[in-house]
A = this chain, B = another copy of it.
Amino acid sequence: MTVQRVLPFTKSLLEQAVSSGDVVIDGTAGNGHDTHFLASLTGATGKVFAFDIQQEAIQATRERVQEFDHVELIHDSHAKIKNYVSQPIAAAVFNLGYLPKGDHSIITKAQSTLSSLEQCLELLKIKGVLLVVVYSGHEGGSEERDAVMEFVSSLPQKTFDVLKYEFINQQHSPPFLLAIEKK
């Protein structure tokens, strides 16, 4: 396959953006897959801050990353990122929606999502990337999607490139990627 699907493309951007020693954020730890991947990219000289509001997600992520000492798991809302992170970051990644295999009624919501994205953009270093995988098929998902789209579409083009990477001939609202790079 030449044209990468959304999740592999997201990983390939992270691989390019994150180097050994970097500080990065996983805004939605979930089952810990991205946290683990980020931890391998930064290496032990870097640091991964991984947020989730659900204890179940924090526990699943803790188990998945137990081989690493440079992951800080934070059982709090990603809307409070700046309470925990002050260093410049090379990347942040978000998977919006609900916890896979978890309680589907607990979802990320527009207000806290926008707040956390703003905080990440402030922390982002030049050439750093903020990657947001948007799932909108669930109840409440389209409101969050619309709010995020409005926010990122109006980011100043002098400071940010905002890419939308989307498969447009599919049914059932497949996820798409927003990739924001600081200039």
Chain A contacts to B: CB under 8 angstroms: 1-3, 13, 16-17, 127, 129, 149, 152-157, 160-171, 179, 181
Tell me the dominant secondary structure on chain A's binding face.
mixed
Query: Are B17 and A181 touching (Cβ within 8 A)?
Result: no
Residue of B nearest to A160 (CB): B169
Residue from the list B127, B161, B165 in contact with A169, Cβ < 8 A: B161
Query: Are B171 and A167 touching (Cβ within 8 A)?
Result: no
User: How many whole Å from A92's CB to the nearest CB in chain B?
Assistant: 13
Given A1-B127, A161-B167, A165-B165, output 13 extra A-B contacts at Cβ < 8 Å: A2-B13, A2-B16, A2-B127, A2-B129, A3-B129, A3-B161, A3-B181, A149-B168, A152-B169, A153-B169, A157-B171, A161-B169, A164-B168
7 smallest beta-carbon distances between A and B, as pairs: A162-B169, A3-B181, A2-B17, A2-B16, A155-B169, A164-B168, A157-B170
- Report Cα–Cα, A170/B153, bound state, in Å: 8
Q: In the complex, what residues of B have CB within 8 A of residue A127's CB?
A: 1-2
6 contacts between A and B (CB under 8 A): A2-B127, A2-B129, A152-B169, A153-B169, A156-B169, A164-B167
User: How many whole Å from A150's CB to the nearest CB in chain B?
Assistant: 11
- Report Cα–Cα, A179/B1, bound state, in Å: 12
Residue of B nearest to A4 (CB): B163
User: How many whole Å from A173's CB to the nearest CB in chain B?
Assistant: 13
Query: Are A163 and B162 touching (Cβ within 8 A)?
Result: no
- Report Cα–Cα, A13/B2, bound state, in Å: 7
Query: Are A1 and B154 touching (Cβ within 8 A)?
Result: no
Q: In the complex, what residues of B have CB within 8 A of residue A13's CB?
A: 2-3
